[in-house]
Amino acid sequence: MLEIADLHVRRGATHVLRGVSLTVAEGEIVTLIGPNGAGKTTLLLTISGLLPVLSGAVSCRIDGETRSLGDLRADRIVAAGIVQCPEGRQVFASLTVRENLLVGAYRRHARDDLRKDLERCFGLFPILAERQALSAGSLSGGEQMMLAIGRALMARPRLLLLDEPSLGLAPQVVETIFDTILQINRAGTTVLLVEQNAELALEVADRGYVMETGNIVHTGTGQALLDDPAVKQAYLGIAP
């Protein structure tokens, strides 16, 4: 579904991604873990078309159609079915909860579908139905995270990019969010999950990649990485 080959990306004067290659197959949950500053967010922003590709290839294959994302505008990438739920939630605080969800559905026009998607979203996160008319800025952190995921789902992603959904949330809330991610995946959405919480991410993921300073340094199934002594030491805080 997503194929990245030898990707280099620069942010300002910094050469952040130095030859990243990874693939995500349809139906998978793939996680990308690694320390702060490794380039995980940069990778997601590049996939979404917010940062230019310096060299290498980012392509997606959705419904038998292969496209090079490096040549597409951000809004076309969303239309192609790749939607990102950004780091730190970033809901539109001055818009209402309902408006945030409608912005997620911005690329779509059919009204009936919209109602159905809103219901699906409220089914996943009942609290959002109650808070519909409130401004998103008045929600708690956990509720904002739910709204951010709901907003991304409203775009009907085939591939959902999640940037650190556990960031700054209470453990119970994180658990709910991860349950929902599994639920979303089972319903047919492929997921690429960037996380600092490596243990949790590797538990839900089919496969994982470990990134350090702009390079992929380990890869394997979620379980294999959990068992890998190097990963254990570096990311799970367990001495070998």
Partner 1 sequence: MTQYYLQQLINGLMLGSLYALVAIGFSMIYGIVRLINFAHGDVVMIGAFATLALVGAGTPWLLVAPVVLLTGVLAGITIERAVFRPIRGAPQVTGFIATLALSVMIENGGVMLLSPQPRNFLFPDVMRTRVPIGPATVSLTDLVIIATTLILVGVLVLVVRRTRPGMAMRATAENLAVARLMGIDVNRTIMAAFALGSALAAIAGLLWGGRFGQIDPLMGFAPGLKAFVACVIGGVGSIPGAMIGGYLLGLGEVLFVGLLPPEYSGYRDAFVFATLILVLLVLPNGLLGRSEEERA
Residues of this chain that interact with partner 1 (CB under 8 A) are 48-50, 73-75, 78-79, 83-84, 86, 90, 92-95, 99, 102-104, 106-107, 151-152, 155
DSSP string, 127-179: HHHHHTTSBGGGS-HHHHHHHHHHHHHTT--SEEEEE-TTTT--HHHHHHHHH
Q: Which is nearer to partner 1, 160 or 216 (CB)?
A: 160
Q: Which is nearer to partner 1, 90 or 183 (CB)?
A: 90
Read off the amino acid at residue 29: I
Q: Which is nearer to partner 1, 151 or 218 (CB)?
A: 151
Q: What length is written for the chain? A: 240
Q: Which is nearer to partner 1, 160 or 211 (CB)?
A: 160
C-beta of 58: minimal distance to partner 1 in Å?
A: 16
DSSP 8-class letter at 71: G
Task: Determine whether 45 is exposed, middle or buried from the number of CB atoms within 10 Å of its CB (0-12, 13-18, 19+).
Answer: buried
Report the DSSP beta bridge partners of residue 163. 194
C-beta of 71: minimal distance to partner 1 in Å?
A: 16
C-beta of 131: minimal distance to partner 1 in Å?
A: 18
